[in-house]
Amino acid sequence: MMDERTREMLRRMAADVPPLSTDAAMLTRRARRRVARTMVSMVVAFAVVAGGGIVLARSGAGRGIITPTPVSSGGSKGFKEVSAPFADQRLRCVARIPTVLQPGRPTGVTVRFENVSGETVSVVLPKGSLDIAGHTGPAFGFRSGPMRLPTMLAAGDSMLVPIANPTVRWSGPLDLTVRCESGEVVALPSVRVEVAVPGPNPDRADAIRRALSARPGLLDRCMPNADGSARAGALTPPDPSLPPLTARCAAVVTDEKGFAVVDVQIVAPADAPTVEFADDLNQIAFPGGDLPGDGSIALVRWRIIVTADAVIDDGICCEAAERTVAGAIHTLAPSVFWEDGRWKAAGEAACGGISNGFTWISVCSR
């Protein structure tokens, strides 16, 4: 059985958080060891999952909250298939893309490799990556799904290939582009899709209130102001034995066509330097960005889709970037995550270094 930390890592990968960087210039020696352990855990985890196939998160549950299960059929209002062969003409990559996406649901894009030769073919570390461009520019840059282990594909057979399947949080039309990888990269033609408009937009203040109610507990003592602006407080520990952790908590609303995206943002501790959340927190934690100051700091976010009559929570937690400074040698802090309708703390991570985990960082300074 996989431990909680490994399961949370797989949840993040299913949500398409890009892999940890191994850039030595940006990581401490301890952080590099942590990256190495994480990579080993990834390989082991995918070997355990049936066939090394796509890993999907188990959705959180909550009263009055839609918790969609990621499925391959997507919007179910029609599909378009695009394909291209690899250079040796033995394998063909085929992407099946819904023509209408649903806000708050996974895109539903699937990718398969077909052996169009007359002999068995070795497929090396197959995976797909997805790019989404909106009317205002890039929305979701090329990000890969988890790789499958190498496999043999018999003549005439096909196999599903993991691909990033992000939650739809953009208005249409959108241009989706798939790339396929197995020793080389094959780019498929872009497909323009629409995004369903579920109805009138919700009131912004009401959208914030409903989104915050979707995941109760952690922010009970750190609720943003009614307009979503940041308020200082303290996070409620999932485990009462954990030390206090102060924070600034905000909720940023983006109005799309027929729905609102509520971006819940946490900066801990409360006296951490001012920081602007990038669209992708990996840009802050690793090369290309920076975490301010020199002490322990955690940036955590999750996004909730709110319509006039529904709150849609994909159940995935969380996008995060943090730097911890160990107060003692070999200090370990638990990972924090949302699962089965509540916040939990389990597993352990070594303090000291940069990561994309959400750990209870106040443990590191005890």
Tell me if 91 is assigned to some domain.
yes
Cα–Cα distance for residue pair 5/281, rounded to 1 Å = 20
Residues 228 and 96 in one domain: no
**How confident is the model at residue 193, as a pLDDT?**
95
**How confident is the model at residue 282, as a pLDDT?**
62
CB 72 within 8 A of CB 227: no
Kindly report the average pLDDT of the chain as a whole number. Answer: 77
Residues paired with 343 in a beta bridge = 338
Residues 175 and 319 in one domain: no
Residues 208 and 110 in one domain: no
Residues 52 and 139 in one domain: no
Tell me if 71 is assigned to some domain.
no
CB 111 within 8 A of CB 86: no
Tell me if 360 is assigned to some domain.
yes
Enumerate residues 6+ apart whose C-beta is below 8 A from 33: 350
CATH classification at residue 137? 2.60.40.10
Residues 51 and 145 in one domain: no
**How confident is the model at residue 327, as a pLDDT?**
63
Whether omega before 317 lies within 30 degrees of 0, making that bond cis, reads no
**pLDDT, tens digit (0-9, with 9 covering 90-100), for 96-126:** 999 999 999 999 999 999 999 999 999 988 8
Q: What is the end-to-end Cα distance of the chain in Å, rounded?
A: 31
Residues 233 and 341 in one domain: yes
Residues 298 and 345 in one domain: yes
DSSP 221: T
User: Which candidate, 353, 356, 335, 349, places its Cα nearest to that of 284?
Assistant: 356
Can you state the percent helix, strand and coil of the chain, rounding each to 5? 15, 35, 50
**pLDDT, tens digit (0-9, with 9 covering 90-100), for 212-234:** 999 999 999 999 999 999 999 99
Tell me if 73 is assigned to some domain.
no
139 falls in which pLDDT band (50, 70, 90)?
A: low
User: Which candidate, 288, 287, 291, 256, places its Cα nearest to that of 277?
Assistant: 291
Q: Which helix (H) or strand (E) holds 357?
A: none
Phi, psi of 194 (to 5 degrees): -105, 160
Tell me if 72 is assigned to some domain.
no
**How confident is the model at residue 137, as a pLDDT?**
55
- Judged against a pLDDT cut of 90, whether residue 321 lies above it is answered with no
Residues 187 and 208 in one domain: no
**How confident is the model at residue 348, as a pLDDT?**
78
If one counts every other C-beta atom within 10 angstroms of the C-beta of residue 243, the result is 12
Tell me if 338 is assigned to some domain.
yes
DSSP 242: S
Residues 230 and 340 in one domain: yes
Residues 41 and 88 in one domain: no
For 172, the token pair is 């249409």
Tell me if 59 is assigned to some domain.
yes
Q: Which helix (H) or strand (E) holds 338?
A: strand 332-339
Domain's final residue, options 149, 175, 195: 195
138 falls in which pLDDT band (50, 70, 90)?
A: low
- Judged against a pLDDT cut of 70, whether residue 143 lies above it is answered with no
Residues 222 and 97 in one domain: no
194 falls in which pLDDT band (50, 70, 90)?
A: very high
Domain's final residue, options 147, 168, 195: 195
Asked whether the CA dihedral 35, 37, 38, 42 is positive or negative, the reply is positive
**pLDDT, tens digit (0-9, with 9 covering 90-100), for 72-82:** 333 344 899 99
**pLDDT, tens digit (0-9, with 9 covering 90-100), for 8-63:** 444 444 444 333 333 333 333 333 333 333 443 343 333 333 333 322 222 233 33
Q: How many domains does the chain have?
A: 2
Domain's final residue, options 153, 172, 195: 195
Tell me if 74 is assigned to some domain.
no
Residue 137: give the domain boundaries: 79-195
Residue type, 303: R
**How confident is the model at residue 17, as a pLDDT?**
37
Mean pLDDT, to the nearest integer, of 332-345? Answer: 90
Residues 302 and 274 in one domain: yes
